[in-house]
């Protein structure tokens, strides 16, 4: 962009048509949210230095900066908006700058604020999209991960790919669809308000224009805290409690064992990060709804109402897969979901799943709904993959579900103020 063009921008308002002309000429970074024009206009009085929304002060602000990223062992919020991006740039420096801008924006969004410095110029689009103005932070967390495809030949990162970060193997019964699978980068946004979550992903997408595009977006929900103030274990769309046997990751030692990558695990830059698995699991709800209660309970290995293991009354009773009933048969069927997932009690993952509903399948007229399964683990080769292989082979639940989406991401370590997410990698 020439000096004369800069002077013209400072001296008079410009129309959208004029901005697009300048952008087409390669002179102005007019990508929405990219801030390319902000530096030019800052000295002209056309930029308002006030934030686009006011940061909220409430007990639901989750700190953004720290040793680990938020949204991994943070207690699950009510809603999720999860997006996967494909990079359109071939410049490693562009990717680094994108993570720097994302870090700044995510830190602002985590407080309940908007992104960037707002403009008073009526001829420029607002910096923040505005749908969350006046809304509280509602416990929002924003978590960034990178997929195996980031470590191809585009950015010179192949030598840094962790051995555990590889495309998941095919599992029996998978019917994976490309529109729900893969991605260079994942951005997981969780909050106790769906509009707050959507607003964050929308603005991060806006910032990424010219460097990355969305590959897929998946939204999910749990019961809200208003509906269940006690915070009991949420139920999935099959009516059963989901997550009863989750490890207590608030125990730091257990979290280090189950969730967090350790410095000696083989990729030093990923220490204090984690591996995220995403599986979109469609439920054959109409078939399930015609299934007798005793068959449903035998499928899960738990009682529907209490969530307790079969033969027990307490949801959190020890899961004893060796215990026999009065007839000498296993009290919990050996091919039930919980029996197979138990893995002898030696393999644990941290689940953080959500239900989803995407309307009706136009081909069948049935509900397109199910589970957005998300889990975090220190090494998926030793945790998620062997567990899923066991489930894929024998799980009674397979009669009622089908896996249609799949992705794996290395969630980056946390960052301190002044740094940026991904600095250990880039």
Q: Tens of pLDDT along 251-269? A: 999 999 999 999 999 899 9
Cβ(364)–Cβ(287) below 8 Å: no
Cβ(257)–Cβ(249) below 8 Å: no
Cβ(82)–Cβ(220) below 8 Å: yes
Res. 195 pLDDT band, cuts 50 70 90: very high
Q: How far apart are CA 187 and CA 65, in angstroms?
A: 16
* Share above pLDDT 90 across residues of the chain, in percent, rounded to a whole number: 82
Q: Tens of pLDDT along 312-349? A: 999 999 999 999 998 999 999 999 999 999 998 899 99
Whole-number pLDDT of residue 58: 53
Q: Tens of pLDDT along 7-35? A: 333 333 334 334 333 333 333 333 333 33
Whole-number pLDDT of residue 116: 87
Tell me how far CA of residue 308 lies from CA of 148, 269, 394, in angstroms.
38, 41, 22
Report which of 241, 276, 226, 229 is spatially closest to residue 379, judged by C-alpha positions: 276
Q: Are strands 212-221 and 117-119 parallel, antiparallel or unpaired?
A: unpaired
- Select the highest-mean-pLDDT range: 35-44, 222-231, 370-379: 370-379
Q: How far apart are CA 180 and CA 406, in angstroms?
A: 7
Q: Tens of pLDDT along 212-227? A: 999 999 999 999 999 9
Cβ(149)–Cβ(183) below 8 Å: yes
Q: Residue 338: count other Cβ atoms within 10 Å of its Cβ.
A: 21
Q: Please, which residues bridge with residue 221 across strands?
A: 79, 355
Whole-number pLDDT of residue 339: 96
Q: How far apart are CA 76 and CA 22, in angstroms?
A: 45
What lies within 8 Å, CB to CB, of 381 at 6+ separation is: 163, 164
């Amino acid at each position: 962009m020439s000096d004369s063009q800069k002077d013209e921008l400072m001296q008079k308002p410009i129309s959208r048509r004029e901005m697009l002309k300048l952008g087409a000429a390669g002179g102005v970074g007019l990508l929405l949210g990219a801030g390319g024009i902000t530096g030019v206009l800052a000295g002209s009085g056309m930029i308002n230095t006030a934030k686009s929304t006011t940061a909220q002060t409430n007990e639901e602000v989750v700190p953004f900066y720290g040793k680990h990223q938020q949204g991994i062992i943070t207690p699950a919020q009510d809603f999720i908006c999860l997006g996967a991006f494909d990079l359109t740039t071939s410049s490693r420096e562009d990717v680094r700058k994108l993570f720097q801008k994302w870090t700044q924006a995510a830190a602002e969004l985590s407080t309940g604020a908007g992104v960037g410095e707002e403009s008073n110029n009526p001829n420029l689009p607002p910096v923040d999209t505005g749908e969350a103005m006046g809304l509280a932070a509602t416990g929002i967390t924003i978590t960034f991960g990178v997929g195996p495809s980031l470590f191809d030949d585009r950015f010179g990162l192949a030598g840094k790919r962790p051995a555990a970060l590889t495309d998941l193997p095919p599992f029996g019964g998978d019917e994976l669809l490309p529109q729900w699978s893969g991605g260079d980068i994942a951005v997981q946004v969780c909050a106790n308000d769906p509009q707050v979550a959507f607003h964050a992903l929308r603005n991060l997408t806006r910032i990424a224009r010219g460097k990355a595009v969305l590959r897929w977006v998946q939204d999910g929900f749990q019961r809200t805290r208003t509906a269940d103030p006690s915070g009991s274990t949420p139920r999935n769309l099959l009516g059963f409690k989901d997550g009863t046997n989750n490890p207590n990751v608030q125990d730091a030692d257990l979290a280090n064992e189950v969730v967090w990558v350790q410095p000696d695990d083989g990729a030093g830059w990923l220490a204090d990060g984690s591996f995220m698995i995403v599986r979109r699991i469609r439920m054959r709800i109409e078939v399930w709804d015609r299934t007798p209660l005793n068959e449903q309970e035998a499928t899960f290995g738990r009682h529907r109402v209490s969530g307790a293991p079969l033969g027990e009354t307490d949801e959190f009773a020890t899961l004893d897969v060796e215990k026999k009933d009065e007839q000498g048969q296993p009290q919990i069927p050996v091919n039930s979901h919980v029996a197979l997932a138990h893995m002898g009690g030696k393999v644990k993952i941290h689940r953080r799943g959500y239900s989803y509903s995407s309307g009706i399948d136009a081909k069948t007229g049935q509900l397109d709904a199910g589970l957005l399964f998300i889990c975090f683990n220190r090494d998926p080769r030793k945790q998620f993959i062997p567990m899923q292989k066991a489930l894929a082979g024998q799980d009674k639940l397979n009669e009622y579900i089908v896996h249609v989406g799949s992705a794996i991401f290395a969630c980056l370590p946390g960052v301190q103020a002044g740094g940026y997410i991904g600095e250990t990698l880039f």
